[in-house]
Amino acid sequence: MSETITIYCKNNNTYKEVPIGSSLLDIYSLVGAPLRLRPMNAQVNNKTEGLTFRCWHPKDVEYVDYTQLSGMRTYVRSLCHIFSKAVNDVLPSATLNLEHPISKGYYCVIHNGKDIDEETIGKIKKRMREIIDADLPFHLKTIRTIDAAVLFRERGMNDKARLIESAGMPYTSYYELDGYINYFYGCLTPSTGYIQVLTWFPISTACCCVCLKGRIRRNWNRSSAKIKCFRFIRSI
């Protein structure tokens, strides 16, 4: 049995023999790192896969950076996981809802039972920077959906539990970051260090998070702070 497989890289029209089971990240170096910018994911036989995906059979591979829509989505999902982790670390009793896209960003709500002041926002910002600087890995895990639902409910993520149950799949994949779990429809970057340059904007009533420009509003019911995140800052 051959110990290598043939990979065709569409980016530079290159065929390369690589060890069986090589990850897309390993293969990227072997085919000559064909992109000017860091890859975010890859199209494998025309299907989007994360860079930790391993190839066991011959494949056509096209690497994607953040200037392409698929790459941008991977970047933003990874950023959202970092943001969620930072909020959980700073406000462990709070609930964060990344509700819906709005103007190239996301409308977010932090339910904390009290106002979110600028000092707290500064702590979240600092924690995000620490997580990114540590270049922590995003671990992709797959378990039975019934077990995943229990796991998310134990963490207070009832909406995530309902979401994966409604998909009707026997198994569910989720991402773990330094003990914090989350569920996404698509892939993430291999690690937090892929979120390289952070742009923060001053906040009076404005809250700005990494690569997102936003506004914090207070006192709808004094039990939540609403962050309208918009405009993705493309700086890598």
> What is the per-residue pLDDT across 169-190, written as a single tens digit (0 to 9) for each?
999 999 999 999 999 989 999 9
Of the given ranges (49-58, 99-108, 195-204), which has the lowest mean pLDDT? 195-204
If we measure between CA atoms, which residue out of 88, 24, 86 comes closest to residue 60?
24
Same structural domain for residues 201 and 124?
Answer: yes
pLDDT by residue (tens digit) across 109-125? 888 877 778 888 889 98
Look at residues 16, 40, 65 and tell me which one is the last residue of a structural domain.
65
Compute the mean pLDDT over every residue in the chain, rounded to the nearest whole number: 83
Q: Which residues contact 199 (CB under 8 A, 6 or more apart)?
A: 208, 210, 211, 213, 233, 235
- Residue 27 maps to which CATH number? 3.10.20.30
52, pLDDT greater than 50: yes
pLDDT computed for residue 186 by the predictor: 93
Decide if pLDDT at 56 tops 90.
yes
pLDDT over 70 at 221, yes or no: no
Backbone φ/ψ region at 223: left (φ over 0), alpha (ψ -120 to 50), beta: alpha
Give the count of domains, the chain. 3
Last residue of a domain, one of 65, 82, 110: 65
Query: Residues with Cβ < 8 Å from 87, sequence gap 6 or more?
Result: 94, 96, 110, 124
CB 125 within 8 A of CB 200: yes
88 and 129, same domain (yes or no)? yes
pLDDT at 23 over 80: yes
Residues 15 and 118 in one domain: no
Look at residues 187, 202, 222 and tell me which one is the last residue of a structural domain.
187
Residue holding tokens 């963490």? 155
Q: What is the pTM of this model?
A: 0.82
Give pLDDT, residue 105. Answer: 65
In percent, how much of the chain has pLDDT > 70? 81
